[in-house]
Structure 1
Amino acid sequence: MPDIYRSLGDPTRRKILHMLKNGEKTQKELVRAFDISQPAIKKHLKILLDEQIITEQIHGKYRVYRLDSFMLKTAYEEMLHDIGDLLDHQLTSLKEYVEKGEEKLE
């Protein structure tokens, strides 16, 4: 299962994903869009590949990257579930706190 937090936790990776949502890009195209080195971009691409958010194909001497929409959607749904669980816990804690305060007033 992809780690959406790791994938989206860096602005460079978010920009790469934003670029790939409009279609596949070569590594060279991605590098040109940033003011950081090619090895730094490669590191970000590796993280996105490790998390299976993007795919890589080699065409001759070019590496072409594409967004894996299914895996991104799966990771997004997992994140929403995690946030829902967190909010449910917080709301339950708030309800218990309010109910205890009401008992003291009675």
Structure 2
Amino acid sequence: MEPTAEGVLTQMRKGVLEFCVLAYLRSGPAYGLEIATELGRHETLFTSEGTLYPLLARLRKQGWVETSWQESRSGPPRRYYSLTDEGRAAVRTFAAIWTPFSDGVDAVLGKAS
């Protein structure tokens, strides 16, 4: 069976989405809907809030993010996510590996076309 574009994209997202969340949090704490809105601007990266909250829970269990509750002017308190030192190290490692990795993929794809 031939893979669909959506199936391939889903697999690619699984590998990088958590690091995109960590990269977004480098600029400071953010709550879930804020993260979803920003990542949603890039449809290839993110399409559903339903995937974000389980991912944030996994990142918290890994010790890469921590949470705090903050009052909101427009409703109930919000859970804010922020990077831990381990989370900052994880995103630095990802960033260092990403360019050579994507360059390698680009080189192979260029040869195949």
Residue 14, structure 1, aligned to residue 19, structure 2 = yes
Aligned equivalents of 2:24, 2:90: Cα separation in 1: 18
Residue 30, structure 1, aligned to residue 30, structure 2 = no
Residues 42-78 of structure 1 show CA distances to partners (whole Å, capped at 9, x for unaligned) of 0110110010100011124211000002x336779xx
Q: Which runs of 5+ in 1 are unaligned?
A: 1-8, 80-106
Residues 71-90 of structure 1 show CA distances to partners (whole Å, capped at 9, x for unaligned) of 336779xx9xxxxxxxxxxx
Amino acid paired to 1:51: Q
**Aligned positions, number:** 68
- Corresponding residue SS for 2:66: strand
Contact 2:22/2:87 (<8 A) preserved: no
Q: Give the deviation of 1:19 after TM superposition.
A: 0.5
Counterpart for residue 72 of structure 1: 87
Counterpart for residue 84 of structure 1: none
TM-score, structure 2 as length reference: 0.51
RMSD over aligned Cα atoms: 2.4
- Corresponding residue SS for 1:23: coil
Percent identical? 16
Q: Which runs of 5+ in 2 are unaligned?
A: 1-13, 41-45, 72-76, 94-113
Greater relative CO (CA pairs within 8 A, separation 6+): 1
Higher gyration radius (CA): 1
Query: Segments of 4+ in structure 1 off by > 2 A?
Result: 71-76
TM-score, structure 1 as length reference: 0.54
